[in-house]
Amino acid sequence: MKIYLDNCSLQRPVDDQDQPRIEQEAEAVIEILTHCEAGRLTLFSSESLDFEIGEIMDARRLAACTGILSVAKGYVATNETIARRAEEFGASGIKAFDALHLASAEAGEVDFFCTCDDRLLRKAKALTDLKVKAVSPMELVEEVKK
């Protein structure tokens, strides 16, 4: 199974764990990464993720994201097709970087696009022509168990 974790999912393990939901999502992301390291899931990265992560100023967050992406086996470089598809997603009210991540996930032909962003998840699930399944970290863990 091929997966794509967006930036908020990559950073979830280093977020403040005081809120139960954040703690549950962090645990789910860590479980997902365990499956990636064991070869049961294939993590994809992208040029969009590289750029967005490169903007992180906090050294601990940057190191965590870089470490997670070091297990990625697939990579999607941005091209004109991805840019056009991202524009289509943008017309549906999806923010520019989120749209690029979705378009990159599609281009990588991943099975699941994972995000902790409720707004993005809701909008992605509403897209009738999305070629990947948008899920939360907990939903992805459930998919892996099937």
pLDDT of residue 146: 82
Distances (CA, A) of 85 to 5, 36, 47, 107: 18, 27, 15, 9
User: What does the pLDDT average to over 119-131?
Assistant: 96
Are the beta carbons of 76 and 44 closer than 8 angstroms? Answer: yes
pLDDT-derived band at 63 (thresholds 50, 70, 90) equals very high
User: What does the pLDDT average to over 97-104?
Assistant: 96
User: What does the pLDDT average to over 56-84?
Assistant: 94
Edge-to-edge strand ranges of the sheet holding 74-76 = 74-76, 42-46, 2-5, 112-114, 133-135
Domain ranges of the chain: 2-145
Per-residue pLDDT tens over the stretch 8-46: 999 999 999 899 999 999 999 999 999 999 999 999 999
pLDDT of residue 14: 93
> What percentage of the chain reaches a pLDDT higher than 70?
100
2-145 adopts what CATH topology? Rossmann fold (3.40.50)
